[in-house]
Structure 1
Amino acid sequence: MSYSVVEYYGNNSKYQCGYCKQSDSCSSYGMWAHKLSCQDYQELIDRGWRRSGCYCYKPMMDVTCCPSYTIKCDAMNFRLNKSHKKIIKRMHKFLRDGFREPHEQAAQSSNDDSAFHDGNASGHEHTEAPSKQPKALDPDLLNAFTSPSTEKRPSCSESVTSALNVPKPSEALHSSAHSSDSNVSNQPKKAKLRRIERKKEKLQKKGLSGEEIEQVMQSKRSKNQEKSLEDFLSETPQESEKPAHRLQVKQVNASDGANAVTYNLYRLYQQNIHKDPASKMNMDRFKRFLVHSPLKIVTLLTSGEKFQESLHVSYNLYKKYQTAIHNDPPGAIEEYLDFLVKSPLKPSQGFGTFHQQYWLDDRLIAVGVIDVLPNCVSSVYFFYDPEYKFLSLGTYGSLRELAYTRSLYSRYPNITHYYMGFYIHSCPKMRYKSNLQPSYLLCPEAYTWHLLDNTVEAKLDANKYSRLNNDLSAQDTNKPTEDDVNDVLLIFGRSCMTYSQYLTVVGKEIRILFQYACLVGKSCAKKMMLYKV
């Protein structure tokens, strides 16, 4: 098996919240992942952890100003609503004729769904992440401790590409694009009733009995209900129709996402959407946030050389998005690499961190950063060209990622959920996430999942921090005892040992160790290697 190596920082309090903007009001626990197996990260996010680049953090839910609940959607039972259908159909229309309705642009520009994928504060990297990265561990030492067995694993192209229904390096997924949630024109109920009555009258004229008419009407309703997310997405205009535009989605691994094309898009997005100042935009920051990842994988779709060719395009789109949507212009391209390319997740049968690039004709207009884990697809971030904000790219991207999650199920039946980061009930923009149903929130005490329905919303309306599990006897089943701490793995000097062995050798207690074990859970505490200087 592949081992993880983490460096625990403990708790960090009194820093500015990226959501409510209060100063000295945010608190969380943090650790640096030098290397992280996909299975361990799956277990961590199921305990309320989240990563920003290689930095992992867990909000102090009962203390922090804006409690952040882990949210996931049951992808296999996902139900499209009218707004979602409108979004997909509108993009197909745009691809078909290229025409932008003036009222559409006005409506879309006033309805920002950029928060849909923003699991991190202020739409960028976690505000509490250390500005100075920890000293890199000796690569030889790291590999000696963490390398999996040398048994032959199938290449990514063999084990993932065909099974995940993703394009080969020379191909792309031709699909529809994005649209808006607002101004969905629902006709009055009376008009709908009149249409139903007219249909019934026509059937009566054909000699059908009342029972037969009901059977026909029910059959039509059933057919309408059976139309799936994939059915809607597949209705993109075909080449034979000579559409005005062609949308392609290309997937590449995150380590190949450090190119100027992607960084420039990120910078554009941060400056325009999140209103980030230009002084904060650089490639280093981008790398820390969306490129560097502890989840390392073998290239899935394209070679490093191919991805490098589009680096500047991706970076320019990121810059444009951050500026227009978040008013948060990124810095140099290295920052983009740290943010959206680097990942601590290590190889495991095609799991890991990927970039999904959305190309409209020959122009990169959006990038979705995702982690593919043993039980889910986890959305890390999504940024887009603000010029196409009217297409509601954030919402459309989430629908595409949901469809991608469903496509993985045939090969990996444990992958059934789509994780959307954090849900903050007091943040209006976060309400978009509850539109993906059925969705579930993680109880911060029992670590059980609870349907995000009116009952849970009422709880959060009454108290921003709430134990979601009504059964007060329900406890954290993965909580360690003090005796379990003796089995925690430590890296000390150039040796790996259990905590009990460490006490024998060094004779000095590590007081923070029980806190660490409780936060990561008994299972991870006994598997992950804790780096001790």
Structure 2
Amino acid sequence: MEPTIINYYGKQTSRCGYCKNVECSNSHGMHAYNLAPQDYQDLIDRGWRRSGHYCYKPNNKNTCCPCYAIRCDTNEFKLSKSHKKILKRMNNFLRDGKKNKSEESTKSDTSATTSQMSAEKAQTNEGDENAMGSGSIREEPQAPNIPIREINMEAVAKANPQKTFSIPEKKESSEVSVVGTSANLSSLDGSIKSFDESKPPCKKAKQMRKERKEAKIKAKAEKDSAEQPQMKSSSIQNREKTLKDFVNSASPNDCHKLKVILVTSNKGVTNEAFNIYRKYQLIIHNDDPARLKKANLQRFCYKSPIKHTKLPGGPSCGYGSFHQQYWLDDKLIAVGVIDILPLCVSSVYFFYDPDYSFLSLGTYGSLREIEFVQQLVETVPSLKYYYMGYYIHSCPKMRYKGKLVPSYLLCPETYTWNLLTNEMRQQLDIQKYLRLNGDPEANDVDDFLETHLDLVMLLVENNTCVTYREYIQSFNIETLDTMLDMIRSRLYKEITGEDDDRESILEYGKLVGRTCAHRMLYVKV
């Protein structure tokens, strides 16, 4: 597997896309040449997020609008009345091809002038069903204009034949469970027996009991065969419909056919996709037409550092970046950009044809992505979460993400997931920044300390991978104890005329965590 390679930029300050103030949004950024799926999973579980190849982590203590990573457990997901209404609306449209009066008015609203749409977007829109996509407000930081060192992945592999970059499978310890019978336990441990070996098994009696039981079942089935259709119909009516039921309710006689096709994101931008994206950005977000170019869409939604990877025990489609294309009959009407990772599906962006806004495609797309996770979890039990990016409580437009129940927010200090409750919302009403973990004794279990610096992986000249300690030793500087590292750092600069990036690497290690710092390659510029 190709290693994760990043170029760390450090602290970044920019205009905030949420409160619109200038030079008040604070974050840390880095360019990812390549990202292993498990590494990106670990990064987003520490509050990182990507936009194309640019990865960023808000500095929640100092930024104007704190951004809390948010995810939903799809195994426990509950459909709300609003969700069911949207799913029924889509199914009714597919079946009959008709729209009611309220839906017609919704469509007319999307055809409003740019100035009208801009005025609408300026208002608080917490209940807007059309805003329910992870990309409903595109306000992500942009990569700084800093020259990027070219990295040849093949050259890195050739220069480091002795290095292995395989990543062990990681599971959440709190979720590991063992379910089994005495029979399969005995197959794991030969010392476990579910019977007394001194006595022969009574196979004949067991067989007789089995035959009697089968006969009873068969007789009951024949007796109830006439009533079965009616009982089945009644059972279906009484059972509450699941998300899967709504999604799979299509009939061959439907007026329209909707297909959601999964494709890898490394394809070039098609004219169909770009036309939808341009129309969406102009009408829904009142974007500047001058910046709506194919190259921008390619950079933001098509280029990804997460390479398509298939691993044993993983999903059949593999890990990596994908697009879910929504085809209505033979017309592309929406595109969902997602990352499939070891524990989750992370929603990157969603754009759709505004002509179909009456179908609330933003919310519908989120529900289809949750249903997709529920499909994946059937074969990969650990892959059960749906990540929605950031929850920004100080921006009312972005609170809609918390309507997916149950949702969990990432504590920016302990990096633990905490259930989003009404009490937590009330606390966020009072203060923007909050340590979400209520346990004062809890801390970051993957914290990076100065003593961990020596094992940070660096990619230096000639594409060679070395640890920070090896890098310093290569200049024949005597290795000293940790308490004298600052002296060693100054000696290094005096002898070589270069900066060893000590402070920058320490900052980087704290942000990505000890595990990633010792596994990913930090490009030494």
Q: Shorter-normalised TM-score: what interval? A: 0.7 to 0.9
1:9 aligns with 2:26: no
Deviations 1:490-524 (A, max 9, x none): 01101110001111124343221111000000000
Contact residue 56 and residue 141 of structure 2 kept, 8 A = no
Shift of 1:222: 11
Shift of 1:468: 0.5
Contact residue 257 and residue 355 of structure 1 kept, 8 A = no
1:525 is aligned, of 511, 517, 520, to 517
Which is worse superposed, 520-529 or 109-118?
A: 109-118
Which structure has more relative contact order (CA 8 Å, sep 6+)? It is 2
Deviations 1:41-89 (A, max 9, x none): 0000000000000000000101111111000000011011111111111
2:370 is aligned, of 387, 402, 424, to 402
Larger radius of gyration: 2
Distance in 2, Cα, partners of 1:446 & 1:299: 31
Distance verdict in 2 for CA 1:228–1:502, change over 3 Å? same
Equivalent residue number for residue 289 of structure 1: 300
Contact residue 106 and residue 357 of structure 2 kept, 8 A = no
Equivalent residue number for residue 87 of structure 2: 88
Equivalent residues, number: 413
Deviations 1:474-495 (A, max 9, x none): 1000001111111000011011
Equivalent residue number for residue 282 of structure 2: 271
Distance in 1, Cα, partners of 2:511 & 2:237: 48
Equivalent residue number for residue 479 of structure 1: 447
Equivalent residue number for residue 185 of structure 1: none
Equivalent residue number for residue 512 of structure 1: 504
Identity %: 47
Which is worse superposed, 69-78 or 142-151?
A: 142-151
Distance verdict in 2 for CA 1:455–1:490, change over 3 Å? same
Equivalent residue number for residue 78 of structure 2: 79
Give the AA of the match of 2:441. Answer: S
Distance verdict in 2 for CA 1:127–1:78, change over 3 Å? same
1:235 aligns with 2:234: no
Equivalent residue number for residue 466 of structure 1: 434
Listed as ranges, the matches of 1:91-102 within 5 Å are 91-102=90-101
Shift of 1:254: 0.3
Shift of 1:145: 6.6
Contact residue 3 and residue 145 of structure 1 kept, 8 A = no
Equivalent residue number for residue 502 of structure 1: 471
Shift of 1:140: 2.9
Distance verdict in 2 for CA 1:146–1:465, change over 3 Å? farther
Distance in 2, Cα, partners of 1:26 & 1:436: 27
Which structure 2 segments of 5+ residues have no match?
A: 110-119, 121-126, 167-233, 476-491, 494-499
Contact residue 3 and residue 520 of structure 2 kept, 8 A = yes
Give the AA of the match of 2:50. Answer: R
Distance in 1, Cα, partners of 2:236 & 2:78: 14
Equivalent residue number for residue 377 of structure 1: 345
Deviations 1:99-133 (A, max 9, x none): 1112223357486445433459x516x33322466
Equivalent residue number for residue 137 of structure 1: 151
Shift of 1:379: 0.3
Equivalent residue number for residue 448 of structure 1: 416
For the aligned residue pairs, the C-alpha RMSD in angstroms reads 2.6
Shift of 1:221: 11
Distance in 2, Cα, partners of 1:43 & 1:260: 35
Distance in 2, Cα, partners of 1:409 & 1:504: 47
Deviations 1:179-225 (A, max 9, x none): xxxxxxxxxxxxxxxxxxxxxxxxxxxxxxxxxxxxxxxxx999756
Which is worse superposed, 68-77 or 272-281?
A: 272-281
Listed as ranges, the matches of 1:32-47 within 5 Å are 32-47=31-46
Equivalent residue number for residue 58 of structure 1: 57
SS of 1:41's partner is helix
Shift of 1:258: 2.5
Distance in 2, Cα, partners of 1:429 & 1:145: 49
SS of 2:83's partner is helix
Give the AA of the match of 2:515. Answer: S
Listed as ranges, the matches of 1:97-496 within 5 Å are 97-107=96-106, 109=109, 112-113=128-129, 115-118=131-134, 122-123=137-138, 126-131=140-145, 134-144=148-158, 224=238, 226-236=240-250, 238-239=251-252, 241=253, 243-297=254-308, 350-494=318-462, 495-496=464-465
Distance in 1, Cα, partners of 2:23 & 2:238: 52
Distance in 2, Cα, partners of 1:20 & 1:29: 19
Deviations 1:159-181 (A, max 9, x none): xxxxxxxxxxxxxxxxxxxxxxx
Deviations 1:229-269 (A, max 9, x none): 10121123x11x2x221111111000015222212211111
Distance in 2, Cα, partners of 1:394 & 1:469: 31
